[in-house]
Amino acid sequence: MTFCAIQSPPVRRYTGEVKIDGYAGMDSLATAVARAIQLPSAKGFAVTEIHPTAVVSPLARLGADVQIGPFCVIEAGVEIGDRCRLESFVTIKTGSKIGCDNKICDHAVIGGGAQHIRAPENPGTIVVGDRNQIREFVTIHRALHAGEQTIVGNDCLLMVQAHIGHDSIIGNNVIITNNALVAGHVVIEDRAYVSGAVAIHQFCRVGRNAMVGGQAHVVQDVPPFVTVDGCSSLVVGLNLVGLKRNGFDSESIRELKNAYRILYRSNLTNGEALEKIRMDFAGKPAEHFHTFLAPSKRGFIQARSRGRQRPLHEEPVKLRVLPGEHPESSENVRQAG
């Protein structure tokens, strides 16, 4: 990744612009059209497009072929890698380092301060990897303390209004969907899927290839490879669809099923079950149940009882069917009241 610094005064690189407090600003709304500017790089010239309404600190570092859209704000010390695309009203705050080939959509804010009543004046940083899609209104906060990092890996998709709290670590190929809330110090492993409106408590962890259903409230660790039901917030089995999509063969899935039965369907204690999994599946994907859950500090989510198919407060719907009628008929159902 090759960086090229925007040197002060930046106005010299923008036709028709003026210098305002060390930043580049437009001199007239009539000039608000995107221009291509040439910044020096190790390979000659890197063409970077910065919309004239954007505010870019002269202390920011931009890679080659970066596009910065209207009304974006790039603060001092920010690093943005090659071929990144920032749409309108994106804010990248001090302490943020963005990798290559990322797409950051409208109104996203990266690098905001931790939402903590004792947040220090000199917080940590945030590192975003490569090839991520960060959609509209996503917020990702810097680490709480200096020397610490909030991390987003590679090839992730963070959908509209997702929030990543301070000091969280998001792995590779993670999908976090609309309005999901990830609190501080959360760890989400590779290829996990967090559905819409999920709330994850601080210090919780989500194992790799797990799926968390919509509106679930996660207050303990989510084991790898499983599905958490959004209604009950309990484990309801393996994430078979996700496993197959990610290339797990039939033998590996069979072993994961056996490990799941040991963990949730045997009469062993949690510690005994994890030790048996470690011994029976050493060197195989199923061993990750032990690797992930053994150091858990908050405990892990338990399985929903086989006889419990809905929340306890919700009674099953019973239709009153008239004698001789078929309940499949919508007209008969309406008449049955």
The predicted structure's pLDDT at residue 305: 81
Query: Domains in the chain, start-ordered, CATH in brackets?
Result: 3-239 (2.160.10.10)
* Range 127-143 average pLDDT: 98
Q: How far is CA 265 from CA 259, 261, 280, in A?
A: 10, 5, 16
> Cα 312 from chain centroid?
31
* DSSP 8-state class, residue 291: H
At residue 235, φ and ψ (nearest 5 deg) are -70, 135
The predicted structure's pLDDT at residue 1: 60
CA atoms within 13 A on the CB side of 11: 12
pLDDT digits (tens, 9 = 90+) for 193-211: 999 999 999 999 999 999 9
CA distance 258 to 86: 46
* Range 3-8 average pLDDT: 49
pLDDT of residue 166 exceeding 50, the answer is: yes
> Cα 103 from chain centroid?
14
Q: Which residues contact 28 (CB under 8 A, 6 or more apart)?
A: 16
The predicted structure's pLDDT at residue 37: 40
Helical ranges in the chain per DSSP H: 240-245, 250-264, 270-280, 288-293, 330-336
Comparing C-alpha atoms, which of 105, 94, 194, 108 is closest to residue 143? 94
The predicted structure's pLDDT at residue 36: 38
Considering only 35-49, 140-154, 230-244, 258-272, which range has the smallest mean pLDDT? Answer: 35-49
* Range 134-138 average pLDDT: 99
Residue that has been written with the tokens 């301070």 in this structure = 166
Looking at per-residue confidence, does 13 or 79 come out higher? 79
pLDDT digits (tens, 9 = 90+) for 117-131: 988 888 999 999 999
Catalytic residues: 166-167, 184
pLDDT of residue 107 exceeding 50, the answer is: yes
CA distance 206 to 171: 10
CA distance 82 to 286: 38
pTM over 0.85: no
